[in-house]
Structure 1
Amino acid sequence: MIKKIKELEKISRLLDSGQSQRDKWNAEVLDYSNKFINKLNTSKAYYASEENGKDIYDLDITEQPTKLSTLLESTSKNIDQVGINPASGGHMGYIPGGGLYPSALGDYIAAVNNRYAGVFFAAPGAVRLENMLIRWMCKLMGYPETSTGNLTSGGSIANLVAIVTARESHNLKARDFDKAVIYLSEQAHHSIQKAIRIAGLSEAHIRYIPLDAGLRLSVNELEKAITEDKENDLIPFFINASFGTTNTGAIDPVAPIAAIAKKHKLWFHVDAAYGGFFKLVSEMSSKFEGIEKADSITLDPHKTLFFTFRNWYDPYERQGETLKSLSFLSRLYARHA
């Protein structure tokens, strides 16, 4: 057995590149990156193409190696110069844009050291770093020290976590689902509807509350709907407010909705994936009044903070330590304990 292991070790070491090879690869990738960034001022925001990058299929996975230069050339032709270029200064179509260069370096470091941070003892420093990030975001939103959160693969999963948490908090069972009521506006992100289905709540009543003149969820119509549903022996339990709708950027009136949620004992979730980090802008402080009263909130650093995309897995807890995956760049779901 030992002999076999040593033989396999020799084979596996072929995957380890030496310093000279790494230097060569690094130089090629850095040259590609600098060319891409340095041309952004003159790059198009959209590249029309009849081929739509289909030549990428020429690089199908095979047993034979492909030169890095060939891969980079194909990336430039079939990815960078096809479709939307979100890093372009002329791109204003939707929120994700060019990532900040330091965040790309953070991705590189995380990929190189490849720490497994799903368990505290395996990477305690990495777990602590992630928890520091979560605490910073909780503090930014005015949440108390008893609040907690996790990093997810995206805002859609964060919204799903909120709905499932609300469902469990209200102790809803399958027999209750056809009486449960969820309140949102037609401007709510489509991930909310998907999360409702994934959470098993397809049979729940979904109330699309009308908008006011500012294209925000109407507070008066919301309370009216909740009152009527209670009178009809339904179970109102979840309110979703948008802090920056995708279509118009409108901000639902958070403080009044929080008051209604508290009065009627509903879970109040704020989808702040778009606008949450505008909390860092002092001129926007009045818009955040009452945000700390939300039971849960979704924040998305890849939007307003222009971090790069980074996907990791969900956390759990063990031995008193909060165990979470390491990511400088993911998104936060946080709630009051």
Structure 2
Amino acid sequence: MMDKIKELEKLARLLDPEASQRHAWNTQVLDYSNTFLNNLETTKAYIKTEEAGKAITHLDIEENATNLTTLLASTTKHIDGVGINPASSGHMGYIPGGGLYPSALGDYIAAVSNRYAGVYYAAPGAVRLENMLIKWMCRLMGYPQDAFGNLTSGGSIANLMALVTAREGTPFKSSRF
């Protein structure tokens, strides 16, 4: 069994790019991101096309790698260039997630480091940081000193948690900070 695990580990390591490859990808993604952000002032809030992004299906998901330049060009044309652009200053249809650049960098770091903050034991520092953020938001809202909360991945789970909390009606006290 150990031999099989070691063999699979070698295969998995092939997915980790060398530093030079990471640098090249980082440069391309940063260029894409800066172009996107620099053009927001002139980008429409809604773009309707006949094709409606259908051509992205020509880049089928398969085992063979697709060049990043091709992927970013397709993203620009078939994802960014169609439909609602919630990052546009003209979009006011609903409240989209924040498009703050420092937040995106934080998300990037979180994704790269892959710290699981859902369990204290796994990442006590990350859990403490999340708790600090919640306490800060409570202070911003003028909530009492003993107020607490929870960060969720989106509105659906936040609403579900609110409904369950309202239904249960039992206050929860956190013992860790």
Is the shorter-chain TM-score for this pair beyond 0.5, marking a shared fold? yes
**Could you tell me which residue of structure 2 aligns to residue 109 of structure 1?**
109
Matched, 1:321 2:176: yes
**Could you tell me which residue of structure 1 aligns to residue 24 of structure 2?**
24
Corresponding residue pairs, total = 177
Listed as ranges, the gaps of 5+ residues in structure 1 are: 171-294, 296-315, 323-337
**Could you tell me which residue of structure 1 aligns to residue 144 of structure 2?**
144
Q: Which one-letter code corresponds to 1:142 in the other structure?
A: G
Distance in 2 separating the partners of 1:158 and 1:98: 16
Which one is further off, 114-123 or 142-151?
Answer: 142-151
With over 3 angstroms needed to count, the CA separation of the structure-2 counterparts of 1:65 and 1:156, relative to structure 1, is closer
Cα displacement (A) at 1:138: 1.5
CA contact (8 A) 1:43 1:88 kept: yes
Bigger fraction of residues in helix = 2
With over 3 angstroms needed to count, the CA separation of the structure-2 counterparts of 1:130 and 1:120, relative to structure 1, is same
Q: Give CA deviations for 1:201-233 in whole Å, capped at 9, x if unaligned.
A: xxxxxxxxxxxxxxxxxxxxxxxxxxxxxxxxx
Cα displacement (A) at 1:98: 6.2
Cα displacement (A) at 1:14: 0.4
Q: Which one-letter code corresponds to 1:122 in the other structure?
A: A
**Could you tell me which residue of structure 2 aligns to residue 5 of structure 1?**
5
**What percent of counterpart residues are identical?**
70
Q: Which one-letter code corresponds to 1:47 in the other structure?
A: I
**Could you tell me which residue of structure 2 aligns to residue 158 of structure 1?**
158
Q: Which one-letter code corresponds to 1:66 in the other structure?
A: T
CA contact (8 A) 1:54 1:78 kept: yes
With over 3 angstroms needed to count, the CA separation of the structure-2 counterparts of 1:51 and 1:317, relative to structure 1, is farther
Computing the radius of gyration from Cα coordinates, the structure with the larger value is 1
Q: Which one-letter code corresponds to 2:27 in the other structure?
A: A
**Could you tell me which residue of structure 2 aligns to residue 100 of structure 1?**
100
| TM-score, normalised with respect to structure 1 | 0.49
Distance in 1 separating the partners of 2:42 and 2:145: 47
Matches within 5 A, 1:206-285: none
Q: Give CA deviations for 1:75-94 in whole Å, capped at 9, x if unaligned.
A: 01111110122222333333
Q: Which has the higher contact order (CA 8 A, sep 6+)?
A: 1
Bigger fraction of residues in strand = 1
Cα displacement (A) at 1:169: 1.9
The root-mean-square deviation of aligned C-alpha atoms, in Å, is 2.3
Q: Which one-letter code corresponds to 1:161 in the other structure?
A: M
